[in-house]
C-alpha cells in the first residue's frame, strides 16, 4: 500500500480506537517476536520478526512534528520532509526514490503533529539498501537554495489543493485553531500560507540540524528478518553518526475553556458541514488511567457502524443528516485531546438543526447511560474490525512507530485489550457527563455560499474530517 499524508487523521484513529485489540486474536501475529535495541549514539532500534512472506518494511521515525514548531515558522517540519528527497553528498536530487524503485521497492514519508517518518517497503534482501540510504540522509542532506525554491512552491500548492480548495478542510483548520488557543495543536501541520511564503532554506536547515539526529530517531523494521542481522546493519550505518543535545521540550498546556467557542466559515460549497469537539484527557498513566478507554468506547457507541447511535438515529431514522461521525485519539505526545463529532445535514435541514440533534444524543447518554449490549457490541466490533488490518506488516510498523514517538511503548499493546475490556457502562456515562459540556465545546460550521451557474464545488463533500 502507498501511504499518503492526507491519510494521517484516519490512520491515527485506526491505530488507537480500532487497531490494537486484534493482537490477541491473530495467532500468527501474536507469535511474532519483537526486539528492542539502543545504539551508543542514542538511536533506538525496534524489530518485529514476521516470517510469513519474504518482504520487509523499514521506517525511520523522528520525534519532531508541527508541535515543535514556533510561530512564524509553521509548516517547516513538513517542508523539511519534502527536502529530505532532494539529495545528499553522494546521491543527486531526485535519485533517492529512483534507487528504491529500481530495487523493486516503494517509499514515502509523512508529517504529523507529533512526528515525521520515512519508510520503504522492499524484498527482504534489499533491507541494507534502505538502511544505508536513511543513514546517509540523516546526516548528509544537501539543502540548497535552488532546490528549496522549487520545493516550497510544491508545498504551497499542496496546501492550496488539500486545504484552501477543500471547504471541509478549511473548516477543520479553523476548528483546530478555535479549539486550541495556546497549544501548538491549533496550528496546521502544513503551515499557514504566510509562513510558507516567508520561509527560507535557513529555516529548513535549522530544523534539520536541530531534530534530525540519531538520538531523536527510531528505526522500526517489521518483516522476514532476523533481529540480530538488523542490529548489525544499524550499527554499521547509523552507529557512526554523532548525537547532539536536543532542545528542552517545555510543557505546553491549553488553558481551561470556560464557554462555547464558535466560528462560521463561508466557502463556495454545496452542503453545510459542522465540526464540533470537546477537550478531553489522553492517556498518560497506562496502568492507572481509565477515562481515555471509556472515551474510546463512547466514540464507538456514537459512531462505530450502521447501528451506532448517530447513524441509526440521525441518518436512518430522523434523516437529519446525510453523514455524521465521532472520533477520539487517546495517543498524543502533546498530552491534549479532542473528542470530535462532525457531519452534514440532509437537504432541507440546517447545520443548527444537526447540531441540536447531536447535542440531544449526547444528553441521552448523560441521562440514561449506555446499554450492556452497546458496550459488548463496541468491544466485539473493535476486535472483529482489526484482525485483517493487523495482517499488514506496514500497519504493524506504523503502530509501533507511532506509539514510540509519542512517548508510549510498543508493550502497551499487551495491556490495551484488558484495559478496554474493563470499561463499564457507568464509566462511559461518567466521561460523557464530565467532558461533553457546552462550556467545553468548540464548533465550526461551513456556511455554503452559492455556486455560479455551471460552477462545480472545489472538491466533493462527504469525507469526514476527524482529528489532526
Cell of 221: 523494521
Phi and psi at 41, nearest 5°, equal -85, 5
Of 69, 81, 107, 147, which residue is the catalytic one?
81
- Cα separation of 389 and 27, whole Å? 14
N- to C-terminal Cα separation, the chain: 22
Q: How far is residue 402 CA from its own chain's centroid?
A: 8
Q: What is the residue whose three cell numbers read 527536502?
A: 83
3-state secondary structure of 394: helix
Distance of CA 285 to the CA centre of its chain: 21
198 SS3 class: coil
Question: Which of 102-140 are b and which e, b meaning 16 or more Cβ less than 10 Å from the residue's Cβ?
Answer: ebebbbbbbbbbbbbbbbbbbeeebbbbbbebbbbbbbe
Beta bridge mates, 110 = 117
> Please, are residues 337 and 280 in contact by the beta-carbon 8 Å criterion?
yes
Cite the beta strand spans of 69-128 per DSSP E.
Answer: 106-111, 116-123
The verdict on whether 81 is a catalytic residue reads yes
The three grid cell numbers given for residue 260, joined into one nine-digit string = 462555547
Q: Which residue has the cell 491505530?
A: 15
What values do phi and psi take at 327, rounded to 5? -150, 145
For residues 332 and 168, give the distance between their C-alpha atoms in angstroms, rounded to a whole number.
23
Grid coordinates given for 207: 530544523
Question: Alpha carbon of 315 to those of 197, 291, 296, 320: distances in Å?
Answer: 42, 28, 22, 6
Catalytic residues: 81
Amino acid at each position: 500500500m502507498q501511504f499518503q499524508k492526507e491519510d494521517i487523521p484516519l490512520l491515527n484513529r485506526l491505530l488507537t480506537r480500532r487497531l490494537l485489540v486484534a493482537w490477541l486474536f491473530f495467532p500468527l501475529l501474536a507469535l511474532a517476536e519483537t526486539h528492542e535495541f539502543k545504539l551508543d549514539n542514542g538511536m533506538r532500534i525496534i524489530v518485529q520478526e514476521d516470517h510469513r512472506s519474504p518482504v520487509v518494511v523499514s521506517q525511520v521515525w523522528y520525534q519532531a512534528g508541527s508541535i515543535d514548531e514556533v510561530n512564524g515558522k509553521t509548516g517547516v517540519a513538513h517542508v523539511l520532509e519534502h527536502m529530505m528527497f532532494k539529495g545528499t553528498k553522494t546521491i543527486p536530487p531526485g535519485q533517492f526514490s529512483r534507487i528504491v524503485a529500481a530495487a523493486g521497492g516503494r517509499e514515502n514519508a509523512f508529517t504529523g503533529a507529533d512526528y515525521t517518518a520515512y519508510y520503504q517497503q522492499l524484498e527482504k534482501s534489499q533491507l541494507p539498501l534502505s538502511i544505508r540510504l536513511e543513514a546517509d540522509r540523516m546526516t548528509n542532506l544537501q539543502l540548497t537554495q535552488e532546490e528549496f525554491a522549487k520545493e516550497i512552491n510544491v508545498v504551497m500548492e499542496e496546501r492550496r489543493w488539500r486545504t484552501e480548495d477543500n471547504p471541509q478542510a478549511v473548516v477543520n483548520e479553523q476548528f483546530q485553531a478555535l479549539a486550541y488557543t495556546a497549544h501548538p495543536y491549533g496550528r496546521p501541520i502544513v503551515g499557514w500560507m504566510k509562513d510558507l511564503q516567508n520561509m527560507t532554506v535557513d529555516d529548513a536547515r535549522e530544523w534539520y540540524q536541530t531534530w534530525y539526529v540519531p538520538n531523536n530517531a527510531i528505526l522500526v523494521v517489521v518483516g522476514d528478518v532476523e533481529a540480530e542481522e538488523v542490529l548489525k546493519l544499524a550499527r554499521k550505518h547509523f552507529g557512526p553518526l554523532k548525537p547532539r543535545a536536543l532542545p528542552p521540550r517545555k510543557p505546553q498546556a491549553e488553558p481551561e475553556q470556560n464557554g462555547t467557542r464558535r466560528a462560521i466559515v463561508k466557502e463556495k460549497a454545496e452542503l453545510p458541514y459542522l465540526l464540533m469537539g470537546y477537550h478531553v484527557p489522553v492517556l498518560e498513566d497506562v496502568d492507572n488511567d481509565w477515562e481515555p478507554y471509556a472515551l474510546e468506547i463512547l466514540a464507538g457507541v456514537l459512531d462505530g457502524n450502521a447501528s451506532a447511535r448517530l447513524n441509526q438515529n440521525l441518518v436512518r431514522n430522523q434523516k437529519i443528516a446525510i453523514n455524521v461521525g465521532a472520533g477520539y485519539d487517546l495517543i498524543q505526545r502533546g498530552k491534549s485531546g479532542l473528542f470530535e463529532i462532525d457531519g452534514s445535514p440532509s437537504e432541507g435541514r440546517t447545520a443548527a438543526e444537526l447540531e441540536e440533534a447531536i447535542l440531544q444524543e449526547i444528553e441521552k447518554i448523560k441521562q440514561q447511560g449506555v446499554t450492556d449490549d452497546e458496550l459488548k457490541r463496541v468491544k466485539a466490533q473493535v476486535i472483529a474490525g482489526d484482525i485483517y488490518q493487523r495482517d499488514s506488516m506496514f500497519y504493524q510498523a506504523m503502530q509501533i512507530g507511532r506509539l514510540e514517538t509519542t512517548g508510549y511503548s510498543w508493550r502497551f499493546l499487551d495491556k490495551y485489550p484488558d484495559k478496554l475490556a474493563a470499561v463499564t457502562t457507568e464509566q462511559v456515562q461518567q466521561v460523557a457527563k464530565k467532558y461533553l459540556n457546552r462550556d467545553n465545546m468548540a464548533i465550526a460550521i461551513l456556511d455554503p455560499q452559492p455556486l455560479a451557474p455551471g460552477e462545480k464545488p472545489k472538491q466533493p463533500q462527504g469525507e469526514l474530517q476527524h482529528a489532526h
